């Protein structure tokens, strides 16, 4: 039986439902092979290690508003190619375009994504709040067959603000016609998803598959999406008298 004080469940997408890291590795592997980036004896592991290093640094700058999306997309490959001395720097632009096209078509989800969402969507309104670009995030949702479960899909590009900014959460609540007290945010990032939602009075579920240690206040913690069924749909059948 599904009764709870919540009516609206807001989900993060990347690293909560859509396995960003596994999908990214699959894409980079395709690119590494297609462009013969191993020609100089560089292993895929070295390539991905250097790429991750630059990518994380550039995303930090992007979050601080210090670089543009287009620059980030290309520069992560330019820096990787230069550092490993593989190929001409001008292939970075081509690779960047390919990454952006191919990556969102990958379909690796966290275990039990479909089972949980299918079940919950019959009893609650489900929505997405994601930091990302419209085209990319919609492609992921379509390809992984996730769109069917969601009523509202809110992207940071659409709002012009990134999580954890309160404005994106407020926009999402308004769009879903929901109040904070009847809403809950489910996400993998303690600052971006959890602190952001908490600041505007929403309850939170921290998705923590890596079981990291943390001190922050969360309403619930889960390590597998299947646990959502227990949180929202308690079995209240009592023993026969």
Residue nearest to Mg ion (CB): 15
Nearest to 76 by CA among 47, 37, 102: 47
- The interface mask with Mg ion, positions 75-104, x = CB under 5 A, is ------------------------------
Number of residues in contact with Mg ion, rule: CB under 5 A? 4
User: Are the beta carbons of 165 and 190 closer than 8 angstroms?
Assistant: no
Cβ 157 to Mg ion shortest distance, Å:
15
Binding-site string for Mg ion from residue 126 to residue 165, where x marks contact by CB under 5 A and - marks none:
----------------------------------------
**Cβ closest to Mg ion, residue 12 vs residue 50:** 12
Instruction: Provide, rounded to whole angstroms, the least separation between the CB of residue 88 and Mg ion.
Output: 34
Residue 15 binding Mg ion, by CB under 5 A: yes
Binding pattern for the stretch 185-214 against Mg ion, x by CB under 5 A and - elsewhere: ---x--------------------------
Q: How far apart are the first and last CA of the chain?
A: 19
**Residue 72 or 129 with smaller CB distance to Mg ion:** 129
Q: In what side-by-side order are the strands of the sheet with 8-11?
A: 150-155, 125-130, 8-11, 183-187, 203-207, 220-222
Separation of alpha carbons 89 and 79, rounded Å: 8
Binding segment toward Mg ion, per CB under 5 A, in 46-54, 97-105, 184-192, 200-208? 184-192
Cα–Cα distances in angstroms (integers) from residue 6 to residues 59, 60, 202, 223, 230, in the given order:
33, 33, 10, 21, 14
Interaction of residue 14 with Mg ion, rule CB under 5 A: yes
Single out the residue of 89, 95, 146 nearest to residue 116, CA to CA.
146
Q: Where are the alpha helices (DSSP H) in the chain?
A: 20-34, 44-63, 69-84, 91-102, 113-120, 134-143, 156-159, 166-176, 196-199, 227-232
Stretch that binds Mg ion, among 25-33, 44-52, 154-162, 183-191 (CB under 5 A): 183-191
Of residues 193 and 203, the one with the C-beta less far from Mg ion: 193
Residue numbers at the binding site for Mg ion (CB under 5 A): 12, 14-15, 188
């Amino acid at each position: 039986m599904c009764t709870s004080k919540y009516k609206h469940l807001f989900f993060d997408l990347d690293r909560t439902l859509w396995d960003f890291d596994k999908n990214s590795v699959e894409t980079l592997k395709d690119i590494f092979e297609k462009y013969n980036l191993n020609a100089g004896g560089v292993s895929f592991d070295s390539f991905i290690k250097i790429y991750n290093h630059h990518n994380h640094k550039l995303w930090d700058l992007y979050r601080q508003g210090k670089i543009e999306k287009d620059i980030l997309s290309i520069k992560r490959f330019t820096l990787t190619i230069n550092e490993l001395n593989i190929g001409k720097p001008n292939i970075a632009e081509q690779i960047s375009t390919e990454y952006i096209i191919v990556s969102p078509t990958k379909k690796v989800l966290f275990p039990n994504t479909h089972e949980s969402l299918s079940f919950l969507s019959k009893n609650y309104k489900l929505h997405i709040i994601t930091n990302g670009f419209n085209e990319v995030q919609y492609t992921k949702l379509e390809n992984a067959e996730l769109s069917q479960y969601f009523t509202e899909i809110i992207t940071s590009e659409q709002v012009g603000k990134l999580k954890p900014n309160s404005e994106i959460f407020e926009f999402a609540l308004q769009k879903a016609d929901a109040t904070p007290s009847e809403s809950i945010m489910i996400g993998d990032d303690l600052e971006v998803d959890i602190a952001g939602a908490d600041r505007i009075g929403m309850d939170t579920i921290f998705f923590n598959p890596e079981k990291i240690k943390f001190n922050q206040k969360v309403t619930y913690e889960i390590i597998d999406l299947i646990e959502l069924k227990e949180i929202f749909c308690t079995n209240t059948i009592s023993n026969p008298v």
